[in-house]
Amino acid sequence: MKCNFCLKEFKNKGHMIIKNDNSILYYCSSKCMKNAKIRNQRKTKWIKQNIKQNI
């Protein structure tokens, strides 16, 4: 599975949130879950580093 916020691959750990419209969001950690509510994904530096490593 991939985290919806930082795009890291993770297995058997993390958080799964089901919204009212039946869409499922996966997060690798509570850090990503909290930041998804507050921050824009494109403006965080640590996510840009993860994206560059995955490419």
What pLDDT, in 10s, does the model give residues 9-53?
888 888 999 999 999 999 999 988 888 888 776 667 666 666 666
DSSP state letters, 5-55: TT--B--S-SEEEE-TTS-EEEESSHHHHHHHHHS-GGG-HHHHHHHHHH-
pLDDT digits (tens, 9 = 90+) for 36-46: 888 776 667 66
Instruction: Tell whether 38 is covered by a domain.
Output: yes
Looking at the whole model, is its pTM more than 0.75? Answer: no
Instruction: Tell whether 21 is covered by a domain.
Output: yes
Q: Domain count of the chain?
A: 1
Q: What range does the domain containing 20 cover?
A: 15-54
Instruction: Tell whether 34 is covered by a domain.
Output: yes
**CA distance readout (Å), 30 to 14, 15, 35, 52, 55:** 8, 7, 8, 22, 24
Instruction: Tell whether 8 is covered by a domain.
Output: no
